Amino acid sequence: MFVLVSYDVSTIDKAGRRRLRRVAKVCKNYGQRVQFSVFECLVDPAQWTVMRQQLVDVIDPETDSLRFYYLGSNWKRRVEHVGAKPGVDQEGLLLV
Amino acid sequence: MKKHLNTLFVTTQGAYLAKEGETVAVKVGGKVRLQLPIHTLDGIVCFGQVSCSPFLMGFCAERDVCISFLTENGRFLARVQGPVSGNVLLRREQYRWADDPERSAAIARAVIIGKIVNSRKVLHRVVRDHPDKVDTVVVEQAMDRLKSILMHVRVGTSLDRLRGYEGEGAMVYFRVFDHLILSRKKEFFFEERSRRPPLDRVNCLLSFLYTLLMHDVRSALECTGLDTAVGFLHRDRPGRPGLALDLMEEFRPYLADRLALSLINLGQVKSKGFRQTETGAVLMDDDTRKTVLVAYQKRKQDVVTHPFLQEKMPIGLLFHTQALLLARHVRGDLDGYPVFCWQ
C-alpha cells in the first residue's frame, strides 16, 4: 500500500531539531522524500505498523504533529506532480 | 504470497552504492543520485564499473536482495551471497536426487518438455498472427519436428538421450528462428546461435536477455533454499549454476526469445545501436541496453494465469513460483515438477 507521511516538528530548541532529524531518518528508511517534510512510502501492512510506531515514539505530541494519508494500492491515479523535483516511480524501472 | 519487487539496474559508470540507514544510496561523483528503501528491492544488477560498499553487500545478503555484477556489455561476472541459509534437509535431498540418474532424468525430462512446448508455442504464435509474413511451410515443418521430439522425450529415457533430444530440439527451433524476424531482415538476421561472444545483433540481444533471466531465476532459487549449483539436466561444473540453468530452460523461449523478437519486429531496437569489435563480437550501446532493460522490466509486470496453480500473477513472480514448486517436489510434497507451459 501507499502512504503519504507529512510531519511538523518544532525546531525551537535543540531537542526539537534532534527529533526532526530522527523523524526524517525513519521516513527515509521506508520511503521517498518528495518534499522537505513529505514522504511517499510503499509499504506492506506489517512494515507500516513498525514504521508508524517508530515515528510515534520519536515525536513530542505536545509540539509536533504527524499526518498519514492512506492512498491504498491503486494510488497511481491519485497522485499528480507539477513542477521541480519529480519523484521516482518506485514500482517502475529503476535505472541509474 | 510473495510480492514481485523491483530490480535496481545501475549502468552509470563510476557509480558507488552505499548503505544509508535502511536504504540503498546510489552515488555518482559523491552526490546521491537515487536513494531507495531496501524493502522495495528484490535485486540489484550492476553493469561495468560500479562499486559497492561492503556494508551494503552484507545488508543486502541479510535482506535477501541479490546483487549481481555484470560487465558493461552484460556478461555475468559475480554475485554477492550471504551465509548459506534455508533448509539443509532440502538441500541434502537435492544432492541425493542429483546423484540418482533416474530421479535426475525425471526432472530433466520435465524441464525439456517445458522448453520444447514453449518453443513450439513461440513458432505457433508467429504462424497464427502473421501467416502472410512468414514462410508457414518451413515453420510448420519445424513445429511438427518438435512435436515428434516431444513424443520421444515423454517416454522414459536416460539422461544422455534426453540431452540429445534437447540439443536436437534447440537446433530445429533455432534453424527457423530467422523466419520469425518479420521486419528489417537485412539488419537483423539469425543464422545460428553464437555466444561468448555473440556474432550478430540477434544473438547479442538473446545473450543479454538470458543473462537478465539468469539473475532472476537464480535469486528465486536462492530464496527457496535450493542449491543453485547442483542441477539435474546440467551437470556440476565449477562456477556453473546448474540448477538455475535447468529452471531457466522453460523461460528462455517464453520470455527472452519472444521479447527479443518483439523488440526487433516492433522496431524498438535499431541496428545503429549495435557495434562490432575487431574480434567480430557484437555489442549494444547504452541506449539500446536501456531500451532492452525497460522492455524486460515491463514484461515482467504483465499479469498471467499460472497454468498449474490457476492463480493470477505477474510474470516476474513466475520464477519464484516455479522454484517453490521444484522445492516442494524435492521435499516430497508434490509427485512431479509441474513445468511452466505457456498456454
* Chain B 267-296, residues with CB within 8 Å of chain A CB atoms: 290, 293-294
Give the residue from B42, B76, B58 showing the smallest Cα distance to B223.
B42
> What does the alpha-carbon distance between residue A19 and residue A7 come to, in Å, rounded to a whole number?
11
- The H or E element that residue B36 is part of is strand B31-37
Map residue B67 onto helix, strand or coil: strand
CB atoms within 10 A of CB B331: 16
Of B3, B22, B290, the CB nearest to A29: B22
Listed in sequence order, the residues at least 6 apart from B79 whose beta carbon sits closer than 8 Å to its beta carbon are B66, B67, B68, B69, B215, B218
Nearest CB partner across the interface for A28, out of B8, B9, B21: B21
Per the annotation, does B39 bind a ligand?
no
**Contact predicate B172/B142, CB 8 Å:** yes
High-pLDDT (> 70) share of chain B, %: 96
Query: Rounded distance, CA A90 to CA B55, Å?
Result: 23
C-beta atoms of B22 and A32 within 8 A: no
Nearest CB neighbour to B36, from listed A25, A44, A90: A90
ipTM for this prediction: 0.81
Q: Which of A30, A41, A91 sits opposite B6 (nearest CB)?
A: A91
Pull the grid cell for residue A83: 513542477
- Are the beta carbons of B23 and B35 closer than 8 angstroms? yes
* Cβ(A81)–Cβ(A71) below 8 Å: no
The amino acid at residue B314 is: P
Bridge partners of B330, per DSSP, are none
pLDDT at B1 over 60: no
The shortest C-alpha distance from B23 to chain A (Å) reads: 6
Q: Cα–Cα distance between B61 and B233 in angstroms, integer?
A: 28
B22 is in an annotated binding site: no
- Closest CB to A94: pick one of B9, B22, B28: B9
Mutate to test the interface with A, among B6, B16, B26, B51 (most CBs of A within 10 A): B6
Better-predicted residue by pLDDT, A73 or B39: B39
**Residue of chain B nearest A46, judged by CA positions:** B39
pLDDT of residue A56: 92
Q: What percent of chain B has pLDDT over 90?
A: 6
User: In whole numbers, what is the pLDDT of chain B averaged over residues?
Assistant: 83
Looking at the partner chain, which of B3, B9, B37 has a beta carbon nearest the beta carbon of A31? Answer: B37
pLDDT (tens digit per residue) in B44-86: 888 889 999 999 999 988 888 888 888 876 667 887 877 766 6
Higher pLDDT, A69 or B268: A69
- Contact A85/B at CB under 8 A: no
The residue-averaged pLDDT of B242-253 equals 88
How do B6-10 and A94-95 pair as beta strands?
parallel
A contacts of B36 (beta carbons < 8 Å): 32, 88, 90, 94
Q: Chain B partners of A42 at a C-beta cutoff of 8 Å?
A: 37, 40
Query: Which amino acid makes up residue B42?
Result: D
Q: How distant is the Cα of A36 from the closest Cα of chain B, in angstroms?
A: 15
Q: How many CB atoms lie within 10 A of CB B309?
A: 12
Residue B5 has pLDDT above 60, yes or no: yes
- Residue A70: how many CA atoms within 13 Å on its side-chain side? 7
Q: Which residues of B touch A92 (CB under 8 A)?
A: 6, 297
Instruction: For residue B234, say whether it is annotated as part of any ligand binding site.
Output: yes
Q: Which residues pair with B26 in a beta bridge?
A: B17, B34
Burial readout B6-21 (b: 16 or more C-beta within 10 A, e: otherwise): bbbbbbbeebbbbbbe
Instruction: For A20-53, write each residue's pLDDT tens digit.
Output: 999 999 999 998 888 889 999 988 888 999 999 9
d(CA B337, CA B224): 15
Between A and B, how many CB-CB pairs are < 8 A?
A: 61
pLDDT at residue B294, as a whole number: 85
* Contact at CB, B10 and A44, closer than 8 angstroms: no
Judged by CB atoms closer than 8 Å, whether chains meet at B9 and A25 is answered as no
Phi, psi of B278 (to 5 degrees): -65, -30
Q: Comparing C-alpha atoms, which of B53, B54, B45 is closest to residue B76?
A: B45
A13/chain B closest Cα distance in angstroms = 25
- pLDDT > 90? residue B236: no
Mean pLDDT of B95-104: 85
Contacts with A58 from chain B: Cβ below 8 Å: none
Q: Please name which of B233, B226, B225 lies closest in space to residue B249, comparing C-alpha atoms.
A: B233
Chain B residues whose CB is inside 8 A of the A95 CB are: 8-11, 290, 293-294
Give the pLDDT mean for B147-168: 83
What string of H, E and C letters represents the secondary structure of B198-248? CCCHHHHHHHHHHHHHHHHHHHHHHHHCCCCCCCCCCCCCCCCCHHHHHHH
In terms of Cβ atoms closer than 10 Å to its own Cβ (0-12, 13-18, 19+), residue A34 is: middle
What pLDDT is stored for residue B86 in this prediction? 64
Model confidence over B264-305: pLDDT tens digits? 888 787 777 777 777 777 778 788 888 888 888 888 878 888
